[in-house]
Amino acid sequence: MVPDYARARQGKRAAYDEATIHAILDSGLVGHVGFVADARPMVIPMAYARVGSTLYLHGASKTRIMGLDGQKLCLTVTQLTGIVVARSSFHHSVNYRCAIVHGYARKLRDNEHAEALDAITDHLLPGRSAEVRPMTSQELKATGVIAIEIEAASAKIRTGPPVDDAADLPSTSWGGVVPVVTALGTGVQDGHTPDNTAAPASLRKAQMKFLA
């Protein structure tokens, strides 16, 4: 059962199955995390990864969100895929996929920290954690990670052309979709990289993974 608070208000665009929700989470670049601090809503963009039904969020140890434990969080991942151009202002829209996840903040267990950080690195650059040296204990200490156990989630998806009023259709004006394309470009090496150094395999995997 999907609890009422997690139910989309526009039912026809909603989905609640795990496969749909996981697919959106797994192909998003960053998430927007909502929490309540002093009765005030806060929304922060964060790197994340999903492992089973657990989400890991990553930030500096000293940030507010890393101190949360047991508090309610919301993580939303949105992929905008088009601007929908209709014959009336009213029917303009956007094509998108989003997953809205509700859950509780949980501090990491001792043995979970390195695995969670690897998952976050590998979410953006698949396989990257195995290409670099292991983290030092000092680095682990300085890097905050918090877990969210998924309690309820919904997806919302809009695809396809504008849905215009019949009365507006005999017009000869243009209607359709402007694609919004998000993709990774060719890597730009820094000044410390020797000439002709091949980019790591994880970079190519990321370019494939986040292909528009």
- 142-181: contacts with its own copies (CB under 8 A): 142-143, 161-162, 164, 168-169, 172-181
Q: Is 127 left (phi over 0), alpha (psi -120 to 50) or beta?
A: left
Contact 59, 108 (CB under 8 A): no
Residue among 25, 55, 57, 98 that touches its own copies (CB under 8 A): 98
Does 95 engage in binding with its own copies (CB under 8 A)?
no
Contact 146, 114 (CB under 8 A): no
Q: Mapping DSSP to helix (H, G, I), strand (E, B) and coil, where does residue 72 land?
A: strand
Does 51 engage in binding with its own copies (CB under 8 A)?
no
CB nearer to its own copies: pick between 18 and 212: 212
Residue among 23, 29, 51, 108 that touches its own copies (CB under 8 A): 29
Does 5 engage in binding with its own copies (CB under 8 A)?
yes
Q: Residue 10 and residue 30: Cα distance in Å, rounded?
A: 24
Contact 46, 134 (CB under 8 A): no
Q: Which stretch binds its own copies (CB under 8 A): 19-27, 48-56, 125-133?
A: 125-133
Residue among 44, 51, 108, 157 that touches its own copies (CB under 8 A): 44
Shortest distance (Å) from residue 18 CB to its own copies: 20
Q: Which stretch binds its own copies (CB under 8 A): 16-24, 39-47, 48-56?
A: 39-47
Residue numbers 68-87 binding its own copies by CB under 8 A: 72-76, 78, 80, 83, 85-87
CA 30-109-155 angle, to 5 degrees, is 35
CB nearer to its own copies: pick between 17 and 139: 139
Closest by CA position to 152, among listed 38, 49, 17, 44: 17
Q: Residue 172 and residue 177: Cα distance in Å, rounded?
A: 16
